[in-house]
Structure 1
Amino acid sequence: MTYPTYTQQHLRCKSLDQLKRIYSEIGCTLEVNDRRCKGEWRSAIARYQESKLQKIDEQDIAQGKFEQYIADQAQAVAPEELTVREISFYHHEYYAVDKLVAAIDYDNDLTQPWVVTINNAEVFRATTPMMCDRYIRIHYKDGSLPVQEQETSTSTGNEIMFQIVTECDKYGLELLDDGIYTSNGEKLGEAGCINGNWWFTSATKAHPEKIFCDSAADTVWLLQISDELPTANEYLQYHPLEQLSSGELQGLFETAALVAV
């Protein structure tokens, strides 16, 4: 139960009997030395109220510290936010920072074609990818999701695919299992990366050769203008060997055109 707070000015206007009643109402327990003196009653009431206010302040501070502690602990134990990498329409990967957590794949099952896989093993199956997404997030948050073993080679391959998909999206292209296609369904060619060296082959060539370049961005961009690119022999005519990168040298030495020179 709460009581009004009486100021010294307010208490000075009270009679002795009124001060005694206020003393009783607020539950004051401080000793009054001279019970005939109004000043003693006012002093006791004021000191009692001050002690109560100080106690309330201390409780508020303690409660605030406790709530902050709970918030800090919750933040400390909360799992990292998941990010989704769309490798293709049929394959999505879930990452916590840079660690693979799970993947969603599509198969040919008629009733439940969407599958959550961890360590290449099926852990959940559903009718829609949204249900798989919900399964991953719920079980990751409560810590019941199986732990994905990190494989460097797999992660590297997936990262390459992710970079190619990202660049394809910029031009409205689509990466399928057998290559890169335009929105009209025309196949442009294929792209990849070997030992850090990016390459592509054009579908318009009768005998496609791997053409090496510096990045995923260059790979996808050059693939769209591959008919305008020089052959390996023409490239060598205008680019001295000492000006070529290691990736370009490797690519040129692997081409049939160069072998025939």
Structure 2
Amino acid sequence: MKHLFITFTTSLVLLLAVAPTAHAQPASTSAVYTGPRFPGGPDSLRALVYRSTQLINPPPKGRAVVQFELANGSTPRNFKLLESPTLIKSPLTRAAETAMSFLQARMPAWEPGTPDPNDPQSSNPKVSLVLDFATPLVAQPFPYAEQAPTFPDFAPLLRAQRNVFFERRQNDAPLLAKLSSSSGLVPYFQMQIRYPSAALRQRQQGTVYLYFEVSETGAIEQKQIVGSAGLDLDEEVLRAARQLPAATAPALHQGRPVRVFYVIPSSFKIQ
């Protein structure tokens, strides 16, 4: 039997295209951000990442993603670059490696967040930071915000779709609670994904990383694959991303709407 497993690693905030029923459904409750916090806040973290991208002149085009783990929710370790199609033997590769070395040398300990009792990995969360070498600092999205975006209640959307994954778990109380909260976007996204038949025939496996931004109006923009596992798997993740409904309210930082980004991994494995 073939199975598809999908896992999630927060980029520190947490997902869309516009579905016609998105605003017809009750909105989920927005939530205060409870993940690990960078000293000085998300604006200081954004500034540090921007400084790392200014070491190469002229700057290359494109984005890269550096990922690391917070041991015990605090200590940065195991820095790596995600494998992206645009990174292969390109000037972006060298720039990203330079920026990652800068960040690794200067990344302080973080303030631990509140672990999720239903997620054993939440005590050592992974952080994904986007290296954008061409966009001015003021135009770059925040890595997280004090208030998460507000999304619709995803359970009614899944029922309307007659989603087969949801039908198997529609009596799962923790899942239903998550789907009606600010973190419901991730499981909803995961339930949109199917293993492409072409990828199955070729036995393609691996993890695809999707990048996107939630704008100051709640729109989902800049959808891009920043970690590839093969063309067919990449295209399926982008297809699923196009099914996501827009946020009903944007993220808030210091009381004002802000743009935030997400990096979501989808792991494909044949068993």
**The two structures share one fold, judged by TM-score above 0.5:** no
Return the index of the structure with the highest Cα Rg.
1
- Under TM normalisation by the shorter chain, which class is it? under 0.3
When the two structures are superposed, what TM-score results if normalisation uses the length of structure 1?
A: 0.19
